[in-house]
Structure 1
């Protein structure tokens, strides 16, 4: 997120909370509408603690005394060591409970709930590849916002879809109410990026209209993944190298395809024509009608089970009864097929 875009966004947010004079904004503490940052897929720091009885590689640790940063940790995303990372980050699907859990012997937690640190920087060392909401936060602070008071963060386990994030939505509701209270009862703006858009939409659908009228000023989304993404299909088929020339897509795929959120982000039938080709091969083409056959073709039936579990959230597209602003980029290369 560039500083130029952050400045544009800050003007939008201030326009929701302060009035224009004839020539300039006059910003006062009580006029600032508090903001909660809701990240997208991959947009939260992740910490792990290990107590395993086996490892996939002799370089991997079996046990750790405390939690350590596992995402984003560039030191773990290197050849050989990445085998340990995959085994620690992957989820295991239970076909009976219809839920996914961490690998045996792995505890996962999402740090920094309520503050902005873990969404401004995905890498706690604040190395530049890990910058996320940093520019937006800096732009808002320069305009009078205060971190962890009028500017909050709501990270979550992005590997999971709404059905696996029930506790998160309870905490998010409490955070909204707390932020409202410590900001002189000013209603809150939810500022969500990518997958955070539909996550926030699901959250708002779960609240009463009277609650939203009292606590929510607006929902502002940045490139909201409203209808899913063809890239999710690409990741299921071949993986994604996260923009690195060193990492192999096929290796990372072993972890990536275990996330129910990836199944959730598949193209929605609400947005794609049922005859539009999304996957093309020499033998068969696939559309939104052919997802079951697609998972059979890539020999990953678990993917179809996860898709069935989360598909109802993909068509959850009614108005949330709050003011909504959708921002998106243009001229950006996007996977089309």
Structure 2
């Protein structure tokens, strides 16, 4: 396609152990990298491509920039399996760890390191997309939801996890649209942890049964689809596409992804069909927008919308 490494195509890795609140130096460097790349390529606006937590990291970065800056420097944002609303798997990692799909690594050994990362708290299920009374961890004596998650951290003897959650919560609740064209690709129809179930007679220091739902094997579907809510909240276009039977890492090298990005590179306005399987009614959309805005402290506009007669 005519791209040259470190000139017209550049990487911008970040320390994935850190949440946005600890990555401020990175965002300063990223902004300069974008501006330099723009200037070194005949003032050509930039296409950002992000994977997993890179999605919400990019969202935070873009929401810190002026609209004039974004209009000048950013052509579009492409996200692959963006963890927009977090994941129940983060709770699983706090409880028992994650072996990263390896037959050599032990979950319990990995957990000791994994739970020290503030980014894990950043990836906990967001109250924007999970109900406060939705059971995430079920035990014989008590159920744990977002409303009593502090007790879960006490139960697993890791109260620091709750403190980390409080530090990153403002970043999770800021889900304003990015103000740039968005292309949101994500895997689906892969078993993904939705709940931890501890059988009677066991407690949080035991090993739970993992109950599964839809997603990409790492991120739950509702979180992957969260980018769709921006369609009615910004003037820039928002495209999205599910890639069935594709997991969280598989989306990086799958043919669908490669063809999609190649098409974006070749054309300024690709034709992308919105999946028919995701079709909320008008009322569903308004109710969800109202909930989002109440959580972000801006509910009046959508309260009025919900009073219109044709809804």
Structure-1-length-normalised TM-score: 0.57
Out of 316, 319, 323, which is 2:174 matched to?
Answer: 316
Per-residue CA deviations over 1:241-263 (Å, capped at 9, x if unaligned) read 11112221111100000000000
- Name the SS of the counterpart of 1:329 in structure 2: strand
Matched, 1:197 2:55: yes
Quote the offset at 1:155 in angstroms.
0.4
Instruction: Look up the match of 1:233.
Output: 91
Out of 156, 164, 167, which is 1:306 matched to?
Answer: 164
Alignment of 1:116-131 (within 5 A): none
Matched, 1:333 2:191: yes
Instruction: Look up the match of 1:98.
Output: none
Instruction: Look up the match of 1:282.
Output: 140
**Structure number with higher relative contact order (C-alpha < 8 Å, ≥ 6 residues apart):** 1
Matched, 1:269 2:140: no
Out of 134, 138, 155, which is 1:297 matched to?
Answer: 155
- Name the SS of the counterpart of 1:220 in structure 2: strand
Quote the offset at 1:144 in angstroms.
2.1
Instruction: Look up the match of 1:217.
Output: 75
- Name the SS of the counterpart of 1:153 in structure 2: coil
Distance across 1 between alignment mates of 2:193 and 2:100:
14
Instruction: Look up the match of 1:150.
Output: 8
Distance across 2 between alignment mates of 1:230 and 1:146:
39
Distance across 1 between alignment mates of 2:104 and 2:180:
44
Quote the offset at 1:273 in angstroms.
1.5
Instruction: Look up the match of 1:122.
Output: none
Out of 105, 109, 117, which is 1:247 matched to?
Answer: 105
Instruction: Look up the match of 1:127.
Output: none
Instruction: Look up the match of 1:256.
Output: 114
- Name the SS of the counterpart of 2:10 in structure 1: strand
Alignment of 1:129-148 (within 5 A): 143-148=1-6
Distance across 1 between alignment mates of 2:152 and 2:41:
50
Per-residue CA deviations over 1:32-55 (Å, capped at 9, x if unaligned) read xxxxxxxxxxxxxxxxxxxxxxxx
- Name the SS of the counterpart of 1:170 in structure 2: helix
Quote the offset at 1:179 in angstroms.
0.8
Q: Which runs of 5+ in 1 are unaligned?
A: 1-142
- Name the SS of the counterpart of 2:194 in structure 1: coil
Instruction: Look up the match of 1:166.
Output: 24
